[in-house]
Structure 1
Amino acid sequence: MISSRIELWVGRAVLLLLVLFTLAPFVGMFSAALQPQGSTPTGFSLPDFANFGNFIDAFRIAQLPQLMWSSLLLVLMVVPLSIALATLAAYGIAVLRAPLGGVVLVLLVAGLTLPFEGLISPLYFQMRDWGLLNTRLAIALPLIGLYMPFGVVWMRAHFIGVPKDITEAANVDGASGWQALWRIHLPLARPALSALTVLFSLWTWNQFIIALVMVEDPLERTVAGALGAFQGQYGTDIVLLSAGALLIMLPTILVFAIFQKQFTAALLQGAVKG
């Protein structure tokens, strides 16, 4: 009994330390964002007068409304198609047992080891040859392709966890592969699909390097590019940079807070089956 209480309190203490460790950078950025513009914040300190107007200035200087709209357009272009392709591919590999599905899966797993940065050069020349440079398609198409390895492996893990008896019962009732997917597997896959949608949305919203390389117009890139507005030739305004970074992260935090239950359910789904 005593040992179980000790384990409980130790667990709580470790969890509290992890929370404090996670929140510390955000607290530091928030305190820096409230300092007078042009100053150099150090440590965790609040000024005598909290300059909340810094957030308004950062919002205006970085042209965040235009960049947020651009990021939202990219999310709408990338995420639905990525989810659809990954789901269909995973269903074909895991449930329909498509020919050479194992080979495709190995190639996709190998693709997980490739960093985005290592593919920038070939992707750039490919988009140039297709005449898509300086368009949002030059950002969207590479992202869709780069998301496929993770998306297919993620959805395959879900389909593998679905009892085979359910699929066999649908086949006995005369359901086609498409009907089984639409009426049985997709409703069961809602937690996995919700979590994957959140991940793809956040990755697209915050994508920086591909948008920077493929598009010259800063207002057609993602919102992460807004931080460059606070970096001048001779220095960086740390105060406005901190305020802008917090504004950029706010939608990401809100999305995760809203969908955290679905995300947790997807992660635990495989552990509670059977």
Structure 2
Amino acid sequence: MKARKAELMVGRAVLAFMVVFTLAPFVALVSAALQEAGSNPTGLAWPDLRNIGNFKTAFQVAHLPELTLSSVLLVLMVVPAALVMASLAGYAIAVRRVPLGGIAFVVLLAGLTIPFESLITPLYYQMRDYGLLNTRWAIALPLIALFMPFGVVWMRAHFQGVPRELTEAAEVDGASSWRLLWSVHLPLARPALTSLAVLFSLWTWNQFILALVMVEDPLRRTMAGALGAFRGQYGPDLVLMSAGSLLIMLPTILVFVAFQKHFAAALLQGSVKG
């Protein structure tokens, strides 16, 4: 009994430490953002609500309305296409067991090990040859391709967890491959698809390097790209940079909080689907 209590206390202490460790930078950022604009933040300080206007100033000078629209357009260009391709590929490999599907899966796994930064230079020249530089397609098309390894592995893992008996029963009833996918597997894949859509959306929203390299117009980049432009213009003003960082982070935090149950459902799905 005592050992059990000690184990619980240690577990709670570790969790409490992790919570503090995770929230400390965020608290420091809030503290810096609510200090006087143009000053150097003096560490953790009680927030001065009289400086709440720092957020309005950062919102305007960083052109966040235009970059928010640009990020939304990029998400709409990337996420639906990536979801469709990942679902079809995962279904083909896991359920239909297409020829060479195992080799394709190994290649996709290898793709997960390639550092993203190493692909920037060849992607730049490829987009230049296609005449797509300084357009949102120069960001969207590479992102769709870069998301495929993770997306296919994710959806394959889900489709493999569906009981084989469901597939065989539908085939006995005369369901075609498309009917099997549309009527049996996709309804069961809703948590996995929702989680994958959220991840793709967040990764697209926060994309910085690709947007910076492929697009010269700052207003066609992503929200994360705003921080680079903001820092270049107002580098010494750490207070406004902190306020701008919080504004850029806010949509990501809200989306994650809103869809956290879907993440849990996707990760905890058992072999029996309902």
Q: Classify the TM-score, shorter chain.
A: over 0.9
Which residue of structure 1 lines up, in the alignment, with residue 251 of structure 2?
251
- By how many angstroms is 1:133 displaced? 0.7
Which residue of structure 1 lines up, in the alignment, with residue 195 of structure 2?
195
- d(CA) in 2 for partners of 1:50 and 1:176? 65
- d(CA) in 1 for partners of 2:2 and 2:225? 53
Q: 1:33 to 1:133 in 2, by over 3 A?
A: same
Q: 1:100 to 1:45 in 2, by over 3 A?
A: same
Identity %: 70
Which residue of structure 2 lines up, in the alignment, with residue 20 of structure 1?
20
Q: 1:104 to 1:48 in 2, by over 3 A?
A: closer
- d(CA) in 2 for partners of 1:65 and 1:151? 30
TM-score, normalising length from structure 1? 0.96
- d(CA) in 2 for partners of 1:52 and 1:233? 21
- d(CA) in 2 for partners of 1:124 and 1:154? 28
Matched ranges for 1:191-270 at <5 A: 191-232=191-232, 235-269=235-269
Q: Could you tell me whether the CA contact under 8 Å between 1:230 and 1:237 is conserved in 2?
A: no
- d(CA) in 2 for partners of 1:146 and 1:110? 12
Q: Does the residue aligned with 1:114 lie in a helix, a strand or coil?
A: coil
Q: Deviations over 1:107-138 (max 9, x none)?
A: 10000011221101111111111111111001
- d(CA) in 2 for partners of 1:82 and 1:186? 15
Q: 1:212 to 1:5 in 2, by over 3 A?
A: same
- By how many angstroms is 1:235 displaced? 4.1
Q: Which amino acid aligns with 1:189?
A: A
User: Of 266, 271, 274, which aligns to 1:273?
Assistant: 271
Q: Could you tell me whether the CA contact under 8 Å between 1:61 and 1:229 is conserved in 2?
A: no
Q: How many residues align?
A: 272
Matched ranges for 1:1-274 at <5 A: 1-46=1-46, 50-232=50-232, 235-269=235-269, 272-273=270-271
- d(CA) in 2 for partners of 1:49 and 1:258? 27
Q: Which amino acid aligns with 2:8?
A: L
Q: Does the residue aligned with 2:131 lie in a helix, a strand or coil?
A: coil
- d(CA) in 2 for partners of 1:273 and 1:169? 16
Q: Could you tell me whether the CA contact under 8 Å between 2:70 and 2:219 is conserved in 1?
A: yes
- d(CA) in 1 for partners of 2:98 and 2:49? 65
Q: Does the residue aligned with 1:95 lie in a helix, a strand or coil?
A: helix
- By how many angstroms is 1:43 displaced? 2.0
- By how many angstroms is 1:234 displaced? 8.7
Q: Which amino acid aligns with 2:264?
A: T
Q: 1:48 to 1:84 in 2, by over 3 A?
A: closer
Q: 1:8 to 1:114 in 2, by over 3 A?
A: same
- d(CA) in 2 for partners of 1:157 and 1:102? 13
Q: Does the residue aligned with 1:39 lie in a helix, a strand or coil?
A: coil
Q: 1:48 to 1:59 in 2, by over 3 A?
A: closer
- d(CA) in 1 for partners of 2:42 and 2:140? 39
- d(CA) in 2 for partners of 1:229 and 1:239? 15
- Note the residue ranges of structure 1 that are not aligned, 5 or more in a row: none
Q: Does the residue aligned with 1:231 lie in a helix, a strand or coil?
A: helix
Q: Deviations over 1:221-249 (max 9, x none)?
A: 00111112432479431101100000000
Q: 1:49 to 1:136 in 2, by over 3 A?
A: closer
Q: Deviations over 1:153-211 (max 9, x none)?
A: 00000011111111011111110111111111111111111110010000000001011
Please tell me the root mean square deviation across aligned C-alpha atoms, in Å. Answer: 1.4
Q: 1:24 to 1:123 in 2, by over 3 A?
A: same
Runs of 4 or more consecutive aligned structure 1 residues displaced over 3 Å after TM superposition:
47-50, 232-235
Q: 1:47 to 1:106 in 2, by over 3 A?
A: closer
- Note the residue ranges of structure 2 that are not aligned, 5 or more in a row: none
